[in-house]
Amino acid sequence: MKVTFPHMGNTFIGAKVLMEDLGNEVILPPKCSKKTLEIGTKHSPETICLPLKINIGNYVESIEKGADTILITGSCGPCRFGFYSLMEKEILKDLGYDVDIIVFDPPDGRPMELLRRIMKAADTKNVYRILRSIVRGGKILEKVDNLIEYSNKIRAKAFNSFKVDTIIDNFYEEVRNVHGMEETSKLIKETRTKLDNVKIDQNKKTLKVGIVGEIYTIIEPFANLYVERKLGHLGVEVDKALKPSSWVKHHLLPGPFGSGEEKRKWKEAAPYLSTLVGGHGRETIGSSIIYAKENYDGIIQILPLTCMPEIVAESILPTIQKDYNIPIMTLIVDEMTGEAGYQTRLEAFVDLLWKRWEEDNHEELLSGS
Amino acid sequence: MTYKVGIPQGLLFYDYYPLWKEFLNELGTEVILSKKTNKTILDQGVSNCVDEACLPVKVFHGHVCDLKDKVDYLFIPKFVSIYKKEFICPKFLGLPEMVKNTIEDLPPIIDIEINLRKSNLNLLKAVIKTGQYFTSNLSKIAMAYNKALKHYERYLDLINQGIVPIEAVKMYNLSLKRNKSFNQNNLNIMILGHSYNLYDEHISMNLIKKLQSQDINVLTPEMIDTDQINQHSSRLPKRMFWSFGRKIIGSAFSAIEEKSIHGIIYVSSFGCGIDSILIDLVERKARENSIPFTLLTLDEHTGEAGVNTRVEAFIDMIRWRGKDESNISTHG
């Protein structure tokens, strides 16, 4: 069995460690590229959202490298992600690929079915071993998330911010070639040391921007056109409201272990949006309020075109912008997004934030001019 | 003093209007309807809504603008779920919030949450809460609801007999007897899509009337028996968790498998997330059973002439197919 899974930011590192720990062979899909998206766009329904198109591209590229089993997670609505597995099966069947697709749906009243699928994917019936590997994969994922978060901080203050990009690029290259938990953690540690050696300007004033929105487009750098790097080069510290490791915590760990953060977001969002709207619509509202309360300078919402939950959030965000006096910009991405226009909008937004900062802090200099 | 309660003629209007109207009337309020969708309402909706929303949601915002200065209350219930373990479209879940945060100077909104995902008891709660806006007499509320329910059942009955909801809305409370039977010699065309797209004459550009005037029997998802819908939609490998999806998939699959239709026209609004999945599923099924399928995608820029041309071409093609047994020359 040669296993593969779609890309979603750093998740591939955690999933790779998990599967390798169980002794399975993993075929990683090549890094998301224009080609990936082109393959996906060609074979997917026109109006489906961006993540499915990228997923299809990932599968085709992995299958060409020899993968025969695809692992994906599912959901039971109301966001259309719940139907991804069904659509993807049909599309791959149409393309003539004979692959096994294992879907991890929420139990929905049939917990044994989920367990059976997990055992099939893990290729073992030893529940203890599976759990141990899941914990290990989760730990690695958290470490990688922390590493990337750290790199975002360094990038904003570094004298040469592109050095950070090189180190992170190298990390993503190398991580494909290492095996198992030990080697991966070692690589993470080494990369962290490299980041520590990047010269930074301690006195540099940076802005803080929070990224909210649809989880896939936030997490997968290819989908958001490397927004954290672009902002980092402009001297902005970026924080993302959703991270792969927190997603794992929300969805895989029950009740008291992981959902504290999510509950806080729901509580903050309640005056504006009291019920769920699917996806992470309610979390987008909640995170925006939390960022505003933590004195961030600005918020950027990112969503794929036609994303239903985020459109609801988008129409509520202007009220939050007014109530909390914090600029919020919405960026919509799809296969037609042009990089130059995107960059210009980011620069304009950051300029606006600097102007606001100057007005707040150097009023005496500006007045009288 | 009688309160004026405004009901926007959009979204779930054709699904529930008789129920809402009779219920609110029985409670002693006056129901005010917004005008039928027209250019002004559409324009108002477009300018008062986020750009990314779909056409029917924009139109709904337009209806709210039309009503807001004329009424004491706006009736925009928050529909979360109308069936066990199912949802409505995410945009409906946040509809009252979307309206509140984009349109200014609104009258109070009756935004009772209707959530039957876990238990049907919540319906009772929603009914009582709505009633309590106008009276504290519980038995009056119960009586009003029961009366409204009778009217609503009659409405559903009419639709089941093959009467298009646009007509049924006008006649459910008249005691007219009308038996409309399908003419066997005509073409049977199924029009799929959400009720708020199909029956809104401005959004769908009068598609149903246009087809009927060409001696075509029009079949819509609302006319298919609920048991059949449930039976066919449950054959999907994955449980359909959207109520709209269940209705559209179930009715389409049952009509396709019975071979009772000659073609399918799917009317979808641009950017509809649910449709992006449903269209694909229906199209695959139609192709397997060689039933012609066409898709009309609508948004605020759609021109009527283009839609007419496409529909006419589709109907011509089906007529030729009947005449020439699919032996259509590729040279025209």
Tell me what pLDDT residue B176 has.
52
**What CATH number is given to the structural domain containing B246?**
3.40.50.11900
Looking at the fold, whether B286 and B161 belong to one and the same domain comes out as no
Global pTM? 0.89
Give the tens place of pLDDT for each residue, B249-277: 999 999 999 888 999 999 999 888 889 99
Cβ-based neighbours of A88, under 8 Å, separated by 6 or more: A52, A55, A56, A59, A70, A72, A101
Class of domain A206-369: alpha beta
Q: Which residues pair with B266 in a beta bridge?
A: B192, B295
Q: Which of A87, A105, A316 is closest, CB to CB, to B101?
A: A316
Q: Which fold has domain A2-134?
A: Rossmann fold (3.40.50)
Tell me what pLDDT residue B222 has.
87
DSSP-derived secondary structure letter, A125: -
DSSP secondary structure, A145-198, as one string: HHHHHHHHHHHHHBSSHHHHHHHHHHHHHHHTT--HHHHHHHHHHHHHHHHHTS
Q: What is the mean pLDDT of chain A?
A: 89
Residue A369 has pLDDT above 80, yes or no: no
Are A298 and A207 in contact by the 8 Å Cβ rule? The answer is yes
Residues 234-273 of A with CB under 8 A from B: 272-273
- Whether B81 maps to a domain, the answer reads yes
Residue A367 has pLDDT above 80, yes or no: no
Tell me what pLDDT residue A368 has.
54
Looking at the fold, whether B161 and B239 belong to one and the same domain comes out as no
**If 0-12 CB within 10 Å is exposed, 13-18 middle and 19+ buried, where does residue B108 land?**
exposed
Residue A109: how many other CB atoms lie within 10 Å: 8
Looking at the fold, whether B153 and B197 belong to one and the same domain comes out as no
Q: Which of A45, A47, A275 is closest, CB to CB, to B78?
A: A275
Model confidence band, residue B87 (pLDDT cutoffs 50, 70, 90):
confident
B189 touches chain A (CB under 8 A): no
Looking at the fold, whether B94 and B219 belong to one and the same domain comes out as no
Region B53-75 average pLDDT = 92
Are B213 and B311 in contact by the 8 Å Cβ rule? The answer is no
DSSP-derived secondary structure letter, A239: E
Residue A116 has pLDDT above 90, yes or no: no
Model confidence band, residue A265 (pLDDT cutoffs 50, 70, 90):
confident
Region B213-240 average pLDDT = 88
Looking at the fold, whether B153 and B250 belong to one and the same domain comes out as no
A104 touches chain B (CB under 8 A): no
Q: Which domain holds residue B28?
A: 4-165
Tell me what pLDDT residue B310 has.
93
Looking at the fold, whether B254 and B122 belong to one and the same domain comes out as no
Q: CA-CA distance, A17 to A26, in Å (whole number)?
A: 9
Residue A285 has pLDDT above 60, yes or no: yes
- How much is the ipTM here? 0.84
Residue A108 has pLDDT above 70, yes or no: no
Which range, of A62-71, A196-205, A338-347, B86-95, averages the lowest pLDDT? B86-95
- The domain total for chain B is 2
Looking at the fold, whether B115 and B216 belong to one and the same domain comes out as no
Tell me what pLDDT residue B329 has.
63
A2-134 and A206-369: same fold?
Answer: yes
Tell me what pLDDT residue A280 has.
87
Model confidence band, residue A251 (pLDDT cutoffs 50, 70, 90):
low
Find the residue in A nearest to B236 (Cα).
A86
| Residue found under tokens 């329904």 | A45
Q: What tokens were used for B157?
A: 């009955």
Q: State whether B90 and A275 contact (CB < 8 Å).
A: no
End-to-end CA distance of chain A: 71
Q: State whether A78 and B101 contact (CB < 8 Å).
A: no
Domain extents in chain A: 2-134, 206-369
Q: CA-CA distance, B295 to B207, in Å (whole number)?
A: 13
pLDDT-above-90 percentage for chain A: 61
CA distances from B1 to A9, A175, B29, B133, B216 (A): 60, 73, 9, 14, 49
Q: CA-CA distance, B129 to B241, in Å (whole number)?
A: 27
B309 to chain A, closest Cα gap in Å: 22
Region B153-159 average pLDDT = 88
Residue B48 has pLDDT above 60, yes or no: yes
